[in-house]
Amino acid sequence: MKVPFLDLRSQYLELREEIDAAVLGVLDSGRYILGKKCEEFELAFKGYLVGEDEGYVVGVNSGTDALKLSLLAAGVGPGDEVITVANTAIPTATAICSVGAIPVFCDVDRRTWLMDAVQIEAHVTSRTKAIIPVHLYGGVCDMNTILEVAGKFGLQVIEDTAQATGSLYKGKRCGTLGDFGAFSFYPSKNLGACGDGGAVFVRSAASKELLSRLRNYGQGSRYRADIVSGENSRLDELQAAILSIKLRHLDRWNRKRMEVASCYLSKLHDRGFSVQVQMDTEGAEPAKHLFVVRVDPRQRERIMKDMEIEGVQSLIHYPMPLYQQPAFSHYKKQQNAVAEELCASVISLPFHQYLVIDKINFIIASFVKSIF
Ligand SMILES: *Cc1c(COP(=O)(O)O)cnc(C)c1O
């Protein structure tokens, strides 16, 4: 049996008629950028996140740009420091560096593998402007404590929600708790486009205005540039139309993902196997993005090879703390002991909403066999 890590085609096949019609509709409309489809999606996604409550969604080109434009809108610039974590996707730090700011890495909690909120304060300096907590793997950061520290020092909070579209914290969606919520619609994410896409959630009309300009050359109105740091970063009509369709299925897909995750756990348990997985923050209802387990670092490469021989594809999210990456190593050398342990020991098993029971059994059997 072959079990690839992802199965993105099944999403398309499940909704094929609807998606085909929507795509052809956009092609036929003659409007491809900043038209009705983008507006419709922004409104629908805002409704998904906060319902009737106030707030706005601004569609952008990617999750990386959602972070970057949020930083620009928050007034973060050259020489400013932004506190984030080291066990995350590269773009979290790329976005910080792209506005000239300096990433400062706060270690993560041993149980949740997420930003250890009580350690943030020790990293705050007079140059600190913002915190970017990362809701890694769909897990939910300890937002109350993070917001408390941010409030104390007047810092902006930009949630990296790229991996947690749909996750809840004390009944509220991740990405709506801080000042900015950055989302990614990269195809493999819980809500994925058929290309690149992203969005920012903000609560104030002023931030929404600013972001709308930043994504469109800095233009306030046509041919009138108001801000110099403008970009070209729009969510195009084709992606928006596809996302609007998929959004209607997101909660069901996320429930399915959680079923797959608990199935994995009970199968491991049935085999008398206790494996370390990410624990939930108090008050969190995660919409898992990845199913990650820890193994003996010295065995990891071999375990993955053995599984691959059996046909099971696994990946590592992420193999190296960001400050060890060549691109970021010139920033203050820091040691995040827990992040380093995690980077050395994590394996992501195949994970998506179309995993059926015989595949799950096969994956677990192959994993358990490789461990011993
Ligand atoms: C995917 C991802 C991003 C970047 O999103 P893109 O849409 O690929 O630019 C940022 N942060 C995290 C944690 C991610 O997983």
DSSP secondary structure string for all residues of 113-174: -SB-GGGSGGG--TTEEEE--B-GGG----HHHHHHHHHHHT-EEEEE-TT-TT-EETTEET
| C-beta of 88 in contact with ligand 1 (< 6 A) | yes
pLDDT bucket at 83, cuts 50 / 70 / 90: very high
- In sequence order, what are the residues at sequence separation of 6 or more whose Cβ sits closer than 8 angstroms to the Cβ of residue 366? 306, 307, 310, 311, 312
356: how many CB neighbours lie within 10 A of its CB?
A: 9
- Is a pLDDT exceeding 80 seen at residue 44? yes
Please identify, by atom number, the ligand 1 atom nearest to the C-alpha of residue 188. 1
The mean pLDDT of 22-45, rounded to a whole number, is: 97
- Is a pLDDT exceeding 90 seen at residue 1? no
- Is a pLDDT exceeding 70 seen at residue 214? yes
β-pairing verdict for 346-349 and 291-294: antiparallel
| C-beta of 96 in contact with ligand 1 (< 6 A) | no
Give the residue among 92, 86, 151, 141 at the shortest CA–CA distance from 117: 141
| C-beta of 89 in contact with ligand 1 (< 6 A) | yes
- Is a pLDDT exceeding 80 seen at residue 331? no
* Spatial separation of the C-alpha atoms in residues 111 and 9, rounded to whole Å: 34
* Spatial separation of the C-alpha atoms in residues 98 and 305, rounded to whole Å: 36
| Centroid of ligand 1 to alpha carbon of 68 (angstroms) | 11
| C-beta of 63 in contact with ligand 1 (< 6 A) | yes
Q: What is residue 80's three-state secondary structure? A: coil
pLDDT at 334: 79
* Spatial separation of the C-alpha atoms in residues 74 and 54, rounded to whole Å: 19
pLDDT at 332: 65
